[in-house]
Structure 1
Amino acid sequence: MALSLIQWGLLSAIGLLLLHRLRHLFVRGPFHNIPGPASASLLSGNLKQIFDSNGWDFHRSLLEQYGSVAKVAGFLGEERLFISDPLALYHIVIKELPQWDEPRFFYRLNYLLFGDGVLAAEGEEHRKQRKMLNPVFSAKHLRDMVPIFLDVSYELRSVITNKIKDGATEIDMLDWMTRTALELIGRAGLGYSFNVMQDGSIDEYGSSIKSLFPILSDYMVFGDALPPLMKIGSPSFRRAAVETLPSKGIQQIKEKIDIMEKTSKQIYQEKLTALQRGDDELAKQVGGGKDIMSLLLKENLTASEKDRLPVSQVLGQMTSLIFAAMDTTSSALSKILYLLATHPEVQDKLRHEVREAHAAGEFTYDTLDKIPYLEAICRETLRLHPPVTMQNRRATHDTVLPLSMPIRGQDGTLVTEIPVPKGSKVIASILSLNRNKALWGADAYEWKPERWLAPLPAEITDSKIPGVYSNIMTFWGGPRGCIGFKFSLLEMKTVLSVLVETFKFELTEDIAWDMSIIVVPRPASAPADGKSPYLPMKITLVG
């Protein structure tokens, strides 16, 4: 009887959600005058095209056929805006932030996955957590993390060197970039080693983190059902309901979350104990007390009562930071290695520049910050190939979005602003903004690091692009922009400098890239499903 009641409750919630959505089939939508592609499906609209692993051409067609704003269809005919207009995004991300929020399921999902951290926090709670986290990402602390980054990078160099000497003709660099990114955030973020820098070696915590996203991607389509489902009964009732679901994937997700929670508590307690024993004891820990969690614990213990974070929120930062940093960084690093392999002249020039910088002494924060071609390569790759291609937002109030790039409406009039009713959903296209020819010029789709070695055109600098980094939206912007983007850039520069100085990278076969939740590579001959990411490369030592 208990199982039956649980199942009926779940079905009823889903049924109510569907009835709510059906209204879009009978009422003229708020964006009827905005042009866009025909709906591809009565049930899913254009969403399968937008979220398709191989949806690059569709995204490009939205930008080139309809401009900075297009109307797309969501579930059961619901109208959404697909936006890359800089001024509209400035209003969404900064000027009218309180009127624009993440989708309702976003906070619920992040809470279930990562706990009570910054990714699950809203409003004033989010501001409080960011305030506590901001100091630990300062340039002062980042300088102290370079030795940690170098240790991991040199371990990676040693692993690859041994593979080459053992006769390896092909190495999966996505796997090693993922391992490296995980170990970097482990040591520099948590003061914890996942033991992943050897073949086959990875602990239970690291394994859970690496495998969670591929499993989770199958269930993202049901995200909108989370808010009503999480109102049913108590947390213990909902956990019991999850445990009854006959889904192998759901059970795997639950098991991995349990492992992450258990290990996070263990790491927290060890850090707290070391901190209480003094700096000498903390210095013996992985990361030497320079890691983000050690710094956060120190900040938190000395904070005023009103600013101090409870234990649940400190724990929540741990998995939040790992997931925010791991796959995005490994994706960006993999893309750069791929591009260097396909542009050998760029690779040679970068190697020369890195070696010149290293000849003056060991890599430091200042050294890495003053290698102009390395900076240009990172900026151009993150512009043209953002690891996360889009963000979702919803209007919490009736509002109006102004456009800096007006479009022609269905009725032929020039549309300079769009009234947006409360509850409307928007897909903000990072990819389209970063590639818009009206901003970046006719060569916007070309990878040209040199564009960053000269002043940017006025179309870019005057456009009010609200990104936190370099006139692009790759790290998003505003108060919910990526808090660790400088940390990530420093990781990338350190790893690339060590690798390019020592190795030559070449492709062994054609590579395609899947959008997925985070962009990943695969052999072009493999299925475009985002489930088997792989980047085979030929690597040789260079004199």
Structure 2
Amino acid sequence: MGANISSLPTCLAAVVAFITYTYTYIRRRHSFLSQLRGPKSHSFWIGNEGDIYYQNEVGDCEFEWVQQFGSALRRRGCLGEDHLMVADPKALQYILHSSGYSFPKRRDVVKVTEMVAGKGLVCAHGEVHERQRKISAPVFFTSRLKMFIPTFQEVSSKLVQRWKDELATLDPSIPLLINVAPWISRATLDIMGQAGFDLHFGTLDGAETELSKMYGGLFIDSTLYPSPLNLIFKSTWRYIPEFLLQHVRYLPTREYRRFRTYLDCARDFSREIIKKNAEKGDGSDMMSVLLHTNASEDPQNRMRHEEVVDQLSALLLAGQETTASTLTWFLWEIARHPESQERIREEVAAIYKRTGASGAELSAADLDSMAYTQAVLKESMRLHPIIWMLSRVAGQDDAIPLAFPVTTKSGRLVSSIPVKKGTLIDIALHAYQRLPEVWGEDAGEWNPDRFLEPENVKQTSIGVYGNLLNFSGGLQGCIGWRFAVCEMLVIVTTLVKHFEFSLPPEREGEKTPRICRKPTVLMMPMAEGQVGPWMGLVVEPLN
């Protein structure tokens, strides 16, 4: 009897695998995707998932696939399932904009996101998403941005002082190598603490909260190079009933345990903030505005208490680490391209001279006027999208149009892809942002000037900033993108005004660590021999 009971999970897994294989085999035989060209799969069990999730750097395989097969291709998922991978601008516009909620987020991706962000805006869909977005919108009104700029400037100035303090303790003839990644992450966390929740985390001062400890290294610890078994397991989630799937977060493996402990901590933290807000009354921070707006809504349209609680984790997920990583790559690019760094510095100096501003007094209008600085930010974002892949599923039978026709296995040129309900779709936004057909023949190279002469670029309207997809697009585009851009511009202008950034010099007998774009859920800078996010740059003070 004991042997029979112990073998039950194995039998159930075998049954699910058999049903999944049979289902995918039948679908594949009747699917147009089988006619599309795509990379060869070397494993029935994980298909091309291994190529994507185990690559050394983000884009190693996808860039090659798009170049070889075109901007719409077929790849294999786990257990032989076909995926449609698209980087075509017209297809992306149709999926994200024209068809709205007809292409919902994939169930396994939603569930993983819920494990770390709860049931907040980043996970919501359809009517729930509309309701949460409407209530959250006042938090990010453009008119409110000027209220946050002093906070951006205060934290940026504190970061400058921390680096100057470190420099003061060293021999000035020895260049200071700083791992800028954790420093920028601390700065953006302090900004979110003050702007988001009216709290001073003090991470730049070396303080640690329970939340900041839980948040540190969250995505590297939990999602870098997942096990093949975990990939296969997630591919079966769309067949598992919801009442069972909600208990997956309690599995005792690395990813699920890490996400569970963080989200539980974030929820406790959020409940405490809500309680304090009720005691002190209205405030101007994001959470206070959200609570006030929610209370003002008709009771039928309000967010439920648990939805409000989960907005804190959603705000941190969408507004802290993504911004920090984007800025980290920005600093790397201007260190590699000193001519761009100097042009930014000249533009910043000209703004200060024209406005008569001193210290940290730049306005939103001043930031908007920095055309070249914004061009450099867009170019860095184009080459280094932190969220590098989006996943969708066809909610109905449909046909996805293409701007650039692709050739099928039979040699036929097609300008649209018929998809059946349930078709899995990968939005390779990082591949889209390097398409020569969109960005020019130098799409793989550094050229910020392309954003100063947009008429030379073939553009299909997709993204909200520079027509990039770093903030996604359409109905589920990032609601806080203006906040993020303003925050990054303030930090950038402050740092470039005080420091010069360069790459570490090659020393005889020493190997400089190579920075890699690692494929965690968020694209993280890492280097061999270094622990956690790593971006080592030489930082020298300016006179």
SS at match of 1:532: coil
SS at match of 2:433: helix
SS at match of 2:203: coil
SS at match of 2:414: strand
Return the match for 1:519 from 520, 523, 526.
523
Residues 117, 314 of structure 2: 8 Å contact kept:
yes
CA distance in 2, matches of 1:78, 1:157: 51
Corresponding residue of 1:533:
533
Query: How far did residue 490 of structure 1 move?
Result: 0.8
Return the match for 2:79 from 61, 76, 90.
76
CA distance in 2, matches of 1:381, 1:103: 28
CA distance in 2, matches of 1:228, 1:12: 16
Query: How far did residue 251 of structure 1 move?
Result: 3.5
Corresponding residue of 1:223:
234
SS at match of 1:56: coil
SS at match of 1:459: coil
Residues 56, 516 of structure 2: 8 Å contact kept:
no
SS at match of 1:471: coil
Query: How far did residue 158 of structure 1 move?
Result: 0.9
Structure 1 unaligned residues grouped into runs of 5+: 280-288
CA distance in 1, matches of 2:419, 2:481: 31
Q: Give the letter aligned to residue 377 of structure 1.
A: V
Residues 507, 538 of structure 1: 8 Å contact kept:
yes
Corresponding residue of 1:32:
34
Change (3 A) 1:16 1:141: farther
Q: Give the letter aligned to residue 375 of structure 1.
A: Q
Residues 402, 416 of structure 1: 8 Å contact kept:
yes
Corresponding residue of 1:343:
337
* Comparing 494-503 and 83-92, the one that deviates more: 83-92
Residues 49, 55 of structure 1: 8 Å contact kept:
no
Return the match for 2:303 from 297, 301, 309.
309
Alignment of 1:172-183 (within 5 A): 172-183=179-190
Change (3 A) 1:252 1:477: closer
Q: Does 1:98 align with 2:94?
A: no
CA distance in 1, matches of 2:252, 2:432: 42
- Number of aligned residue pairs: give it: 516
Residues 188, 323 of structure 2: 8 Å contact kept:
yes
Show CA shifts across 1:445-500 (max 9, x none): 1111111122332622xx3x322222222211111111111111111101011100
Corresponding residue of 2:208:
202
Alignment of 1:413-452 (within 5 A): 413-452=412-451
Change (3 A) 1:193 1:423: same
CA distance in 2, matches of 1:363, 1:437: 36
Corresponding residue of 1:404:
403
CA distance in 1, matches of 2:205, 2:35: 57
Q: Percent of aligned pairs with the same residue? A: 28
CA distance in 2, matches of 1:539, 1:180: 17
Residues 186, 322 of structure 1: 8 Å contact kept:
no
Q: Give the letter aligned to residue 121 of structure 1.
A: A
Residues 215, 253 of structure 1: 8 Å contact kept:
no
Query: How far did residue 13 of structure 1 move?
Result: 6.2
CA distance in 2, matches of 1:486, 1:539: 28
Return the match for 2:276 from 270, 273, 283.
270
Query: How far did residue 209 of structure 1 move?
Result: 1.7
Q: Does 1:377 align with 2:372?
A: no
Q: Does 1:135 align with 2:165?
A: no
CA distance in 1, matches of 2:154, 2:7: 54
CA distance in 2, matches of 1:187, 1:259: 19
Residues 383, 430 of structure 2: 8 Å contact kept:
yes
Q: Does 1:184 align with 2:191?
A: yes
CA distance in 2, matches of 1:370, 1:190: 30
Structure 2 unaligned residues grouped into runs of 5+: 505-511
Query: How far did residue 185 of structure 1 move?
Result: 1.6
Alignment of 1:38-77 (within 5 A): 38-51=40-53, 52-77=55-80
Query: How far did residue 502 of structure 1 move?
Result: 0.1
Change (3 A) 1:94 1:319: same
Residues 72, 82 of structure 1: 8 Å contact kept:
yes
CA distance in 1, matches of 2:15, 2:481: 40
Residues 380, 448 of structure 1: 8 Å contact kept:
yes
Corresponding residue of 1:286:
none
Query: How far did residue 411 of structure 1 move?
Result: 0.7
Change (3 A) 1:8 1:261: farther
SS at match of 1:121: coil
Query: How far did residue 60 of structure 1 move?
Result: 1.3
Corresponding residue of 1:322:
316
CA distance in 1, matches of 2:298, 2:169: 56
CA distance in 2, matches of 1:65, 1:110: 32
* Comparing 33-42 and 508-517, the one that deviates more: 508-517
Change (3 A) 1:366 1:247: same
Residues 272, 297 of structure 1: 8 Å contact kept:
no
* Comparing 365-374 and 16-25, the one that deviates more: 16-25
Query: How far did residue 348 of structure 1 move?
Result: 1.3
Aligned-CA RMSD value? 2.5
